Amino acid sequence: MIPIRLAIVDDHKLFRQGIINLLKTYPHFDLIIEAESCPQLLEALAVQQPDIILMDIEMPEIDGMQGCKQILQLYPQMKIIALSMHTADNFIFHMMKLGARSYLHKDIDQDSLREAIEEVAAKGFYFTEKIAEAMLRGVQSRSIQKPYMNGNTLTPREKEVLTFICKGMTNSEIAAKLFISIRTVEGHRQHLLDKTGTTNSVSLAVFAIKTGLLSADEVGGHF
């Protein structure tokens, strides 16, 4: 039997090791990549690709949702199983929407985990009742709120938001301009602050000028 090649990415060392130990007990599972974060995983993926990636959703900097998106862009055939402490429908639905093949609760027991991995390897997906419920709700719901996700280097969207922030626009104005929710704008703003290591709009503006994103007179009169 061909061993199923697995990768795991989770920022919790204890949990990671727990899963690894678990998987070791199965001879047909071959763990080839162990990563602490998505960037690390991406590096490892450049060298060799597994069949299935077990991905944690809540990770600092780049979270599971963003990571899932990025990886599937680079490796569209990749099968990703999401792992999370979250059980809410919204999380499940969104991960599935982003391209995950299954969604498992971290509180899972051994057998279910094995079954899930085997099913995904064989059939390409593994739905539990919970997943089915969440999918049903998500599909039937009228309006889906897009979640705000963590990301790494300035995404194009973030660059846009940065421009508007430097022009002195408020969150509501930016949201209206870009047709996104205020929540998303706040998320972007916070990320801009985190990524640039600044603490307020003024330093953001300075950063923008320094990195050549905006010229000084574009920023000029607003501060």
Partner 1 sequence: MKYMLFGGIMVILLLAISVIIFFVVYQKRLLAQQIRLQSVQQEYQRELLTSSIAAQEKERVRIGHDLHDEIGSSLSTAKLLVNQLHHTDPEKEQIVASVKEILSHTIQNLKNISLNLYPSVLTKFGLVEGLQYLVSVLSQASPLNFSLDAEEISGLELQQELALYRIVQELVNNAIKHSGAGDVNIALTQTESYIQLSVRDNGCGFDTQDPGKGGIGLKSIEARKEMLKADMQIQSVPGEGTCIIIRLPLL
The residues of the shown chain that bind partner 1, judged by CB under 8 A, are: 10, 12, 14-15, 17-19, 21-22, 25, 58, 85-91, 94, 106-110, 143, 145, 147-148, 171-172, 181-183, 186
| Cα dist from 113 to 15, 23, 104, whole Å | 14, 9, 8
Q: Minimum distance from CB of 128 to partner 1 (Å)?
A: 16
Residue 137 backbone phi and psi in degrees, to 5: -60, -45
Helices then strands (H, E): number in the chain? 11, 5
Identity of the residue, 26 or 125, whose beta carbon is nearer to partner 1 in the bound complex:
26
CA neighbor of 126 nearest in space, from 93, 148, 102, 91: 102
Q: Minimum distance from CB of 77 to partner 1 (Å)?
A: 28
Q: Minimum distance from CB of 202 to partner 1 (Å)?
A: 19
Identity of the residue, 11 or 160, whose beta carbon is nearer to partner 1 in the bound complex:
11
Q: How far is it, in rounded angstroms, from Cα 62 to Cα 187? A: 13
**Assigned token pair, 209:** 């000028």
Identity of the residue, 26 or 75, whose beta carbon is nearer to partner 1 in the bound complex:
26
| Count of beta carbons in the 10 Å neighbourhood of residue 206 | 16
Q: Minimum distance from CB of 87 to partner 1 (Å)?
A: 8
Identity of the residue, 91 or 164, whose beta carbon is nearer to partner 1 in the bound complex:
91
Q: Minimum distance from CB of 140 to partner 1 (Å)?
A: 13
189-198 burial code (b ≥16 CB/10 A, e <16): bebbbebbeb
Identity of the residue, 87 or 203, whose beta carbon is nearer to partner 1 in the bound complex:
87
Q: Minimum distance from CB of 109 to partner 1 (Å)?
A: 6
**Assigned token pair, 40:** 């690390």
| Count of beta carbons in the 10 Å neighbourhood of residue 21 | 9
Task: Provide the residue type at 36 as one letter.
Answer: E
